[in-house]
A and B are shown apart, each in its own frame.
Chain A
Amino acid sequence: MTAFDYWSITQGALATISLSLASIVLGVPLGLALALVRWARVPGLNGIVYSYVSIVRSCPTVTLTLLVFFALPQFGISLDPVPAAIVALTVSTSAFNCEIWRSALVEFPRDQYDAALSFAMPRATRMRRIVLPQVWRASLPGLVNEMTLQIKSTPAVAVIGIVEITRAALRVGSNTYEPLPPFIFALVLYGLIVFVLIRLQRMIEVRLRHGGIA
C-alpha cells in the first residue's frame, strides 16, 4: 500500500463521518418529534408512527438504501446518491432515536408536568422548561450509543456507489491484489471513530452524574 492508498481510505473516513453526522443532526430531532407524537397519543398519527418505527427498526439498512435510491424516482423524486444515503440513514436512525426519546418520556414523572400545569404554564413553556431538559439528560447516553451503531451501519450506503471507508478499502484492495492491509487499516479507522464516541459517552455520563450539562 502506498501513501496515496492510505490517504484515499482516510478520505473515505471523511465521507463516513459527514454522512453519519448529517443523519444524526436530522435524525435526533426527527426522533424526538416522533416520540412526542406517541407520547401525546395524537389520534391516527400514533398508530402510523408505531408502525413506522416497527417496520424501520426491522428493516436492513441496505434494503432501505436501495428502496430510497431506486424507488423514489418512480414517484418523480430522483435523488443523487449522497442525498439518498442521507435520507436512508436518517429514516433508519430516527426510528431508533424515537424509541430512546420515548422511553425517557414514559419515565418522566407525571406530577412535575401536573405541577407546571397548576402554575398555568402554557404548553410550549411546559415542554421547554420542564420536560425537555430532563428528558434530554436521560436520553443522552442512549442517543450516543445509537450514534456508534449509526457509524457502523454507514457501509450500507456503499451499495449505491458512495465511497466511504469500507468501499475505499475494497477499491485499494482490488488495485493492489492485497486485500488484507487496506481492510485492517479500515478497521483501525472505525476503531478510532467508535473509540472517540465511547469516550464522549463516558465523559457525558460522568458529567451527568455530577449534575452538569442540561
Chain B
Amino acid sequence: MMHDFATIWSQRDVVFAGLLNTVILLVVAGVASLVLGALLTPLLMSRHKLVARAASAYVDAMRCAPFLLFVYLIYFGLPTFGISMSNWAAGALALILYNTAYMGELLRGAWQELPVTMIESGKAFGFRGLTLLRRIILPPILLRAMPMIGNQMIQIVKDSAFLTVIAVSELTHEMTGIQATYFIPFAAFVTAVLLYWCICLAIEAGTGVLNKIAEERRA
C-alpha cells in the first residue's frame, strides 16, 4: 500500500496539474458566477413581471437540472447551434451558468432581509441604478450571504469533478488516468478525496476570515 502512494508521489506533476486546474476552474467559475449572480438578483426582484418571470424560470430550471445533465446540454447541445468550443471552455461555461442561478437566488434571499429604509435613504441621497446596487445594496448583502457563498464555492468544487466526463483535465480526471496506468485505485482516489478536502477547508477558512472582518467592520 505504501508503495502505491509512492507511485502517486512520483506522479506528483500530473496530480498538481490536475489540482491547479480544479482550483483555476473554481476561481474562474466562482468569481464569474458571483458577479453574474449579483447582476441576476435585481432581475429576479424586478417590478416588470415579464423580466422577473424569465429570470426565475432560469433559476428554477437550473435548480431542477443535475449538473451533469447541464454539462452534456452545453457540450453536445451548443454545437447544434453552430457554437463549438474547447472542452475546458465548455466545462467552465457550464459551471458559470449553472452556479450563477444559485448565486442569484441566495443573494436574493439576503436582499429580502435588507431593511427597505436603507435602500430608500440611498435613493434620497441621489444614488440610482448600478451605483445604488454597487454602493448601497451589494456590500451588506454580500457580507450577510458570505457563509452561503462559501457553501456554494464548495459546491462548485464538487461540481467540477463532473467535468471529467467531457475530458477536462481536472483532479478526478488526472487521478483516473493514473489509476488506469498503474492500477492503484485506492491510493489514487484517496489522494483525490484528501486534496478536495484541503480545497474545501481552505474555502471554509477563507470565508471565516472574511466573516470576521465583516463583523469587525459592522461593530
Q: Which residues of A line the B interface, CB within 8 A?
A: 54-55, 57-64, 66-67, 70-71, 73-75, 151-156, 158-159, 165-166, 169-170, 173, 178-180, 183, 186-187, 190-191, 194-195
Instruction: Tell me, rounded to whole Å, the shortest Cβ–Cβ distance linking B2 to chain A.
Output: 14
A67 proximity list for chain B (CB < 8 A):
185-186, 189-190, 192-193
B67-A152 in contact (CB<8A): yes
Closest A residue, CB atoms, query B69: A166
A74-B69 in contact (CB<8A): no
A62-B162 in contact (CB<8A): yes
B164 proximity list for chain A (CB < 8 A):
62, 159
B69-A187 in contact (CB<8A): yes
Interface of B is mostly: helix
Contact A70:B193 (CB < 8 A) given known A58-B154, A187-B64? no
Instruction: Tell me, rounded to whole Å, the shortest Cβ–Cβ distance linking A164 to chain B.
Output: 10
Q: How many A-B residue pairs have CB under 8 A?
A: 125
B199-A60 in contact (CB<8A): no
A74, A75, A166: the one contacting B66 at CB < 8 Å is A166
Report the Cα distance A150→B90, complex, angstroms.
25
Contact A179:B185 (CB < 8 A) given known A55-B197, A63-B196? no
User: CB-defined interface of B156-189 with A at 8 Å, one 1/0 digit per residue?
Assistant: 0111111011000001100110010000011001
Contact A74:B186 (CB < 8 A) given known A55-B193, A58-B200, A64-B193? yes
Interface size class of B (residues with CB under 8 A): 35 or more
B176 proximity list for chain A (CB < 8 A):
66
Q: Which residues of B line the A interface, CB within 8 A?
A: 61, 63-69, 72-73, 76-77, 80, 154, 157-162, 164-165, 171-172, 175-176, 179, 185-186, 189-190, 192-194, 196-197, 199-201
Closest A residue, CB atoms, query B75: A179
What are 10 residue pairs bridging A and B, where the CB atoms are less than 8 Å apart in the complex? A55-B194, A60-B158, A60-B161, A60-B162, A165-B69, A166-B69, A169-B72, A183-B73, A187-B69, A194-B64
Report the Cα distance A173→B201, complex, angstroms.
39
Closest B residue, CB atoms, query A73: B185
B179 proximity list for chain A (CB < 8 A):
66, 70
Interface of A is mostly: helix
- With contacts A67-B190, A152-B65 known, what are 4 further pairs, Cβ within 8 A? A58-B196, A63-B175, A158-B68, A183-B69
B76-A70 in contact (CB<8A): no
A58-B69 in contact (CB<8A): no
B159 proximity list for chain A (CB < 8 A):
60
Instruction: Tell me, rounded to whole Å, the shortest Cβ–Cβ distance linking B181 to chain A.
Output: 13
Report the Cα distance A165→B189, complex, angstroms.
26
A166-B190 in contact (CB<8A): no
B68, B77, B165, B199: the one contacting A58 at CB < 8 Å is B199
Closest B residue, CB atoms, query A75: B186
A63-B65 in contact (CB<8A): no
Contact A166:B80 (CB < 8 A) given known A60-B162, A61-B158, A70-B179? no
B160 proximity list for chain A (CB < 8 A):
60
